[in-house]
Structure 1
Amino acid sequence: MAHFPGARYAAPHVMTLVQYQGNLLSQTREWTNLHDEELRRRAVKAAGEKDSPALVSLAVAYLGHQGGSGVLSSPRTVEAYALGVRQFVAYATEQAINLLRPGRHDAQGYVNAMLAAGRAPAGVQLKVAAAGCLYRALRWAGATEADPFRDVKVPKDRTPGIVKRPPYSEDDIADVIEQADVQAKFLLFLTAHAGLRISEALALEWQDLDESARRIHVRSGKGRKSRIVAMSSSLGRAARAYRTQFAPGGPEHDTGHRTTPPERVFRYASVMTARYHIEKAFKAAGVPFRGFHPGRKYAGTKLLRQIKDFGRVAAHLGHESVDTTRRGYAQLAADDLKEDLSGW
């Protein structure tokens, strides 16, 4: 991982990042319950002292109170913004930046430092979004009028996402399925055939699976959008096998450590736990595990080459914009037009 000035200061606070306590509403109320003058005083004090935990708390409160998704912001979004605020505060501490009265070159200097350290433009954009959120929070609290990230420039990365992070190959998927147990096989098919995000797969309930109609009802899609997803024949068989073992009344339903309600399909809700289970199959197959997203990209690419319709592929993957599918999730073969041009 590339480092940039100030990154080392983020390490002592990493544990607090994952201690997501309570709901976002309760965290928001820690600041919104204050009188305006006390809100301003605390924000000014936190910024003046570069108190990272307090500034993270303020930014999260603003995100939950006035952010685009408000209190419905996902924990992963909150964590990503929290980490971004920590890293910017660490950089500001190292560079002796006055958070309440930043210099006109300070924000762009932060961007340039990250780029010079080798961070990808897309990653830098996420850090800029977090730092910008901090300043919106400070303005909301009445601590400053500064808006240093309003005009910063982050170069566009012209390399398509599917090139930078390609899908698993056909052989990869076949080899892993051969080594996978019932649970890992079902999870792999959900990502690599149904194209589900790992968060969508882990949120599934038994009532969401309709093996006879070969349909999945995704209720917790990105942006809180639901959709109906078709099952492949292989996924339908894997779903039936999984239900036989793990559904209520099945031999494996009450065995092992369950951290989710009984109506949930999977007994665990953590991505890290899901990764632990499926990595065993990848390791046995000798295939490097690169995360769950390459499985979604496999689904997108295979479906696009079969139906040649970006719109239908976007709907299958739950993308609001076809451009998202085109840039990062599905790719036609370089000689895709070969048959169409053969009679010219």
Structure 2
Amino acid sequence: MTDPAPLITMAPDLAAAVAEWRRWLADLRRLSPRTTEAYGRDADDFVRFLTGHVGAPPTVADLGRLSPADYRAFLARRRRDGLAAPSLARSLSGIRSLIRFLEKRGETTSAAVATVGAPKAPRRLPRPLGVKDALSVVSDAGALAEEPWVAARDGAVLALLYGAGLRISEALSLTAAEAPPETGGALRVTGKGGKTRLVPVLPAVGRAVAAYVRLVPFRLAPDEPLFRGVKGGPLSPRIVQLALQRLRGALGLPETATPHALRHSFATHLLGSGGDLRTIQELLGHANLSTTQVYTSVDAERLVAAWKDAHPRG
């Protein structure tokens, strides 16, 4: 049984200020109740720490006297308590919000908190699908759809994600005039930051899109969205995510099998087949090569796993 958390003690002026700050978060900043509650807990944790750190219930003036070392000591304490980097970063964000609120009211000032960097979360490796699973997702994309045109639509979208490495937002932002030729070819894609790139389209992907265009029951004006929802409006990313979620269950795939995992699969399978990083960077639309280099770790991880499975001493 864990010991109960110590009572929160603070000087009356700080208690009143924290209460005002919480109301400001909810009423003026209009943060969600969940975020407001999380920020409030972070402030409570900070006050508990300061009570022991300064040796008395902290006041508003005490906050103004804190140094960067004091904030780092708090983060170190919370890390020892088991908080991971994302939670520590959110905790620091909540404290900064409180300090900025007090500064705007003219009650204190603390430049120290701005000099403390948030802990960086370890970079997670992408989780691509195997070649067989990725092909199954694309070929069976419409298996659970009730209407043939919806089945063709889902298949076309997922084919663009895996066959051309598009982000889901990029695929759904295509207009009818930008639909790739049935025989394949090149597709001009507008990615993050409004940057455009040319992406080669395989004939199989072109055929999937053409099959959808022939079946869709709505008129596709050249400057209007290519992919439509069942009521004719632009297709929502959430609909694609739900379709893949249902398909994931039918195919027995892990929860990491998401639309974005198909883009990861595109890059990883290209790299595993001998593609060079610079080319893959251009195809994905990454601004920096370092972003693309993460796939080398994924491919190395795959090779190690294959070696352990196949080697007699693995």
Alpha-carbon shift at residue 112 of structure 1 (Å): 5.5
Partner of 2:171: 201
Partner of 1:321: 288
The question of whether the paired residues in 2 share the 8 Å contact of 1:310 and 1:326 is answered with yes
Q: Cα–Cα, structure 1 residues 136 and 230, in superposed 2: closer, same or farther, change >3 Å?
A: farther
Instruction: Point out the structure with max Rg over C-alpha.
Output: 2
The question of whether the paired residues in 2 share the 8 Å contact of 1:192 and 1:299 is answered with yes
Partner of 2:110: 146
Partner of 1:216: 187
Q: Deviations over 1:248-282 (max 9, x none)?
A: 438xx9xxxxxxx9535242554332211222222
Note the residue ranges of structure 1 that are not aligned, 5 or more in a row.
6-44, 61-78, 254-260, 337-344
Partner of 1:298: 265
Q: Could you tell me the TM-score, scaled by structure 2's length? A: 0.63
The question of whether the paired residues in 1 share the 8 Å contact of 2:153 and 2:209 is answered with no
Q: Deviations over 1:39-94 (max 9, x none)?
A: xxxxxx9866232663795599xxxxxxxxxxxxxxxxxx9xx9877633431145
Q: How many residues align?
A: 257
- Structure 1 counterpart SS, 2:273: helix
Distance (Å, rounded) in 1 between the aligned partners of 2:268 and 2:207: 22
Distance (Å, rounded) in 2 between the aligned partners of 1:297 and 1:224: 21
Q: Cα–Cα, structure 1 residues 224 and 248, in superposed 2: closer, same or farther, change >3 Å?
A: same
Distance (Å, rounded) in 1 between the aligned partners of 2:212 and 2:204: 12
Matched, 1:312 2:263: no
The question of whether the paired residues in 2 share the 8 Å contact of 1:88 and 1:131 is answered with yes
The question of whether the paired residues in 2 share the 8 Å contact of 1:111 and 1:154 is answered with no
Distance (Å, rounded) in 2 between the aligned partners of 1:192 and 1:114: 39
Q: Deviations over 1:209-242 (max 9, x none)?
A: 23255333323x2233332322223221211112
Partner of 1:170: 131
Q: Deviations over 1:314-334 (max 9, x none)?
A: 111111111011125774457
Note the residue ranges of structure 2 that are not aligned, 5 or more in a row.
6-15, 51-58, 143-151, 305-314
The question of whether the paired residues in 2 share the 8 Å contact of 1:132 and 1:149 is answered with no
State the identity %: 19
Partner of 1:10: none
The question of whether the paired residues in 1 share the 8 Å contact of 2:127 and 2:264 is answered with yes
Q: Could you tell me the TM-score, scaled by structure 1's length? A: 0.59
